């Protein structure tokens, strides 16, 4: 299915960020695991009424454990309904204020409607494109929380490009997620190229998160190197 097609700086990047000098790119397993003020929100949604998934909760738990090893304080959410998801994202933004590094990770169903990306809570009831906004969580809500927090560096990882279970109800629907322009100081990593579909994986974890966990175990890598290696493995 979907396959990442480029590195950070390329036009079809699986991750996008405001341009930074190489020396300014944080190291995931070195600089980001020292100092103070690292907070991550990790969400895994799997128990959908329609098209349940196997691995997102496993993915979220495994990544949360890895991030704690790297010195992050972790907020973990599993199988969240819309209200729970929205409140947790708001709480994350408030708690992130003034910290050095913020990370948001989401595994589960995601979809794009008219160029905007939506993350699906497990209780989503979507009958048409018009209902997507009221039943889902707009990715822009997450980006706003990160931008308003004042944190020095933010990372968003979206393993959320599984098949849209509501696609048959949409007119002219496009699979996968839409490309996003990262706010200043924020890097956004996708599990696959824009408009493509990611794999849930055959083992305990999804294909993308399996590669991410393995790469995060390597010492001394900066952010760009991490996602280049993940892309190569996926």
Give the active site residues. 109, 161
Q: What is the dihedral of CA 91, 93, 96, 98, to 10 degrees?
A: -130
Sheet holding 153-159, edge to edge: 15-17, 186-190, 153-159, 101-107, 38-44, 73-78
* Integer CA distances (angstroms), 185 to 25, 182, 207, 212, 227, in order: 10, 8, 27, 21, 17
Tokens representing residue 186 in the block? 């924020």
Q: Which of 75, 167, 74 is nearest to 118 (CA)?
A: 167
Closest CA to 151 of 186, 202, 123, 175: 186
């Amino acid at each position: 299915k979907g396959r990442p097609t480029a590195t950070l700086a390329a036009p079809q990047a699986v991750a996008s960020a405001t341009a930074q000098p190489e020396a300014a790119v944080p190291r995931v397993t070195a600089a980001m695991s020292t100092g103070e003020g690292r907070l991550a929100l990790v969400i895994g949604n799997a128990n959908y009424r329609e098209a349940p998934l196997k691995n997102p909760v496993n993915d979220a738990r495994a990544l949360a454990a890895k991030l704690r090893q790297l010195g992050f304080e972790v907020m973990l959410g599993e199988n969240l309904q819309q209200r729970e998801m929205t409140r947790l994202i708001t709480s994350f933004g408030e708690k992130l204020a003034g910290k050095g590094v913020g990370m948001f990770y989401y595994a589960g169903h995601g979809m794009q409607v008219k160029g905007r990306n939506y993350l699906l809570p497990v209780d989503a009831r979507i009958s048409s494109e018009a209902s997507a906004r009221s039943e889902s969580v707009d990715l822009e809500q997450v980006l706003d929380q990160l931008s308003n927090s004042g944190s020095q560096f933010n990372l968003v990882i979206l393993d959320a490009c599984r098949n849209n279970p509501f696609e048959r109800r949409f007119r002219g629907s496009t699979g996968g997620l839409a490309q996003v322009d990262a706010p200043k100081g924020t890097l956004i990593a996708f599990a696959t190229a824009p408009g493509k579909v990611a794999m849930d994986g055959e083992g305990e974890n999804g294909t993308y998160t399996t590669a991410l966990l393995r790469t995060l175990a390597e010492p001394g890598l900066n952010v760009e190197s991490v996602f280049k290696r993940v892309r190569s493995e996926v």
